[in-house]
């Protein structure tokens, strides 16, 4: 029976997945009458992690799920009242809170660069400001995982990469990481909740403990084959690898699906095991390697007879870059005259550019990205902008309209859409953008001003 993928904790409110100051700002704005001013917030990162040439947007579908469940029920309101976090007027507002604004952004799976406006949230200050923390917590983590995963799938070229990092992360982060890794090209995950929730392919057969449970390795392998069939994967490095392969073939015959190597010099062992399998007539038996792999280790195994890679710790921690440094900044707000006016923070170290922005990617005649283009100008002009230049691919898509999310970006269907978008987006990057060596962003970010 196939389970119907469901959202995470379907009935649980996300409203308290936020920082206290979001609600205390709301209280002050309600009190002075500015809470209902129309505002535009923008999510972007000022820089990529050191040496990275591009990043990957992931988590957009999860953001839409979180916004849909951002409701203050009795339990949330009682907590806020008991802790005296906000006053009665604010509690009354929160009791009826529903995000009624609009969101546009990059499609999930899209590559992005410094200053890329990956999400634009528009609504009243009251309804938009309190989404900041949950939006950033999702996008920063998921995009860090997807960005690392994309480097790994690039290094693997056409060989599948499998996600096995659940035990190295918080239990809910593990589910999010599995989803983000698949967005960036991983072929499956060991995490069953991720599989159930998002319709992901799940993988896994046995660990060393199963072999150690039995009196000898061959008995363990025979038991696994009896339970799972000869197409299973046998872990052959609990004791001696060569002997392990012999026992695996004795248990499953030459129709054995795969052997897994989880320790030692994987490149050398892969060559030795491939030769041993081929000489025994098991030419179709595949070799899977695991053991603290990252993108550099995967690249180093390019010439080895490896069929797939299993990655754990490195992918769920962003391979050294566990966040994308995204921020959620107010870039325009309604002035006293009723028109949207650009606003920006003035700090030199944390520069932002005021005003609503549209975004596009300029492509050359071969469809390769040349520039990330930020379209700026008077608000009405930017809002109405549509590219009539065939070299510009518009990047913003509607995600929420008048409070109603586009469900095509959510759930299992949203993941599959993101997988396709990432594949196409990465393929249009300039040649060399996928190299692992440190360098600047693959394409520069430029500004196109219109409407003056």
Cβ atoms 272, 299 nearer than 8 A: no
| DSSP structural state of residue 229 | -
**Distance, C-alpha 59 to centroid of its chain:** 5
The alpha carbons of the chain give a radius of gyration, in whole angstroms, of 25
Instruction: State phi, psi for 368 to the nearest 5 degrees.
Output: -95, 140
Task: Please tell me the distance from the alpha carbon of residue 444 to that of residue 107, in angstroms, as a whole number.
Answer: 20
Domains of the chain, first to last: 20-130+325-449 (3.20.140.10), 146-320 (3.20.20.70)
Instruction: State phi, psi for 285 to the nearest 5 degrees.
Output: -70, 130
Count helices and strands in the chain by DSSP H and E runs: 16, 19
Write out pLDDT tens, residues 304-338. 999 999 999 999 999 999 999 999 999 999 998 88
**According to the model, what pLDDT value does residue 247 have?**
98
Cβ atoms 261, 293 nearer than 8 A: no
Task: Please tell me the distance from the alpha carbon of residue 40 to that of residue 344, in angstroms, as a whole number.
Answer: 11
Q: CB-based burial of residue 72 (10 Å sphere; 0-12 exposed, 13-18 middle, 19+ buried)? A: buried
Distances (CA, A) of 375 to 121, 354, 399: 17, 12, 19
**According to the model, what pLDDT value does residue 349 have?**
67
Helix, coil or strand: residue 392: strand
Write out pLDDT tens, residues 4-25. 444 445 679 999 999 999 999 9
pLDDT tens, per residue, the chain with 452 residues: 344 444 445 679 999 999 999 999 999 999 999 999 999 999 999 999 999 999 999 999 999 999 999 999 999 999 999 999 999 999 999 999 999 999 999 999 999 999 999 999 999 999 999 999 999 999 999 999 999 999 999 999 999 999 999 999 999 999 999 999 999 999 999 999 999 999 999 999 999 999 999 999 999 999 999 999 999 999 999 999 999 999 999 999 999 999 999 999 999 999 999 999 999 999 999 999 999 999 999 999 999 999 999 999 999 999 999 999 999 999 999 998 889 999 987 766 666 789 999 999 999 999 999 999 999 999 999 999 998 899 999 999 999 999 999 999 999 999 999 999 999 999 999 999 999 999 999 999 999 999 87
Distances (CA, A) of 273 to 48, 137, 204: 40, 44, 21
Write out pLDDT tens, residues 281-291. 999 999 999 99
What pTM does this model have? 0.95
- Rounded to 10 degrees, what is the CA torsion of 289, 294, 297, 300? 100
């Amino acid at each position: 029976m196939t389970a119907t993928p469901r959202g995470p904790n379907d009935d649980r409110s996300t409203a308290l997945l936020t920082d206290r100051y979001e609600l205390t700002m709301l209280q002050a704005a309600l009190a002075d009458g500015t809470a209902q001013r129309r505002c535009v917030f923008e999510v972007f990162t000022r820089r990529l992690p050191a040496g990275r040439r591009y990043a990957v947007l992931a988590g957009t579908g999860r953001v839409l799920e979180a916004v849909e469940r951002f409701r203050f029920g009795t339990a949330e309101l009682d907590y806020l009242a008991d802790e005296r976090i906000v006053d009665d007027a604010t509690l009354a507002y929160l009791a009826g809170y529903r995000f009624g604004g609009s969101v546009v952004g990059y499609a999930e799976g899209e590559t992005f660069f410094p200053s890329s406006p990956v999400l634009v949230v528009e609504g009243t200050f009251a309804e938009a400001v309190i989404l900041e923390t949950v939006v950033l917590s999702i996008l920063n983590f998921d995009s860090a995982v997807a960005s690392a995963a994309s480097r790994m799938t690039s290094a693997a070229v056409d060989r599948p990469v499998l996600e096995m990092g659940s035990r190295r992360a918080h239990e809910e982060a593990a589910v999010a990481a599995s989803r983000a890794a698949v967005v960036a090209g991983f072929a499956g995950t060991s995490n069953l909740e991720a599989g159930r929730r998002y319709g992901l392919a799940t993988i896994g057969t046995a660990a060393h403990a199963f072999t150690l449970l039995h009196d000898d390795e061959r008995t363990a392998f025979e038991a696994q084959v009896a339970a799972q069939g000869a197409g299973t994967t046998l872990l052959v490095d609990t004791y001696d690898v060569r002997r392990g392969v012999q026992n695996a073939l004795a248990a499953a015959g030459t129709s054995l699906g795969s052997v897994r190597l989880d320790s030692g010099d994987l490149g050398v062992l892969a060559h030795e095991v491939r030769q041993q399998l081929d000489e025994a007539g098991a030419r179709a038996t595949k070799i899977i390697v695991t053991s603290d792999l990252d993108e550099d280790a995967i690249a180093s195994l390019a010439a080895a007879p490896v069929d797939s890679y299993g990655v754990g710790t490195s992918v769920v921690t962003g391979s050294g870059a566990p966040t994308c440094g995204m921020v959620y900044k107010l870039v325009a707000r309604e002035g006293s005259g009723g028109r949207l006016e650009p606003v920006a923070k003035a700090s030199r170290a944390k520069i932002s550019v005021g005003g609503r922005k549209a975004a596009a990617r300029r492509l050359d005649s071969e469809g390769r990205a040349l520039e990330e283009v930020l379209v700026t100008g008077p608000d009405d002009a930017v809002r109405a902008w549509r590219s009539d230049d065939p070299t510009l691919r518009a990047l913003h898509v509607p995600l929420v309209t008048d409070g109603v999310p586009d469900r095509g970006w959510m759930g299992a269907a949203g993941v599959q859409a993101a997988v396709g978008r990432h594949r196409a987006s990465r393929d249009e990057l300039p040649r060399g953008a996928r190299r692992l060596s440190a360098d600047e962003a693959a394409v520069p970010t430029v500004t196109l001003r219109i409407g003056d």
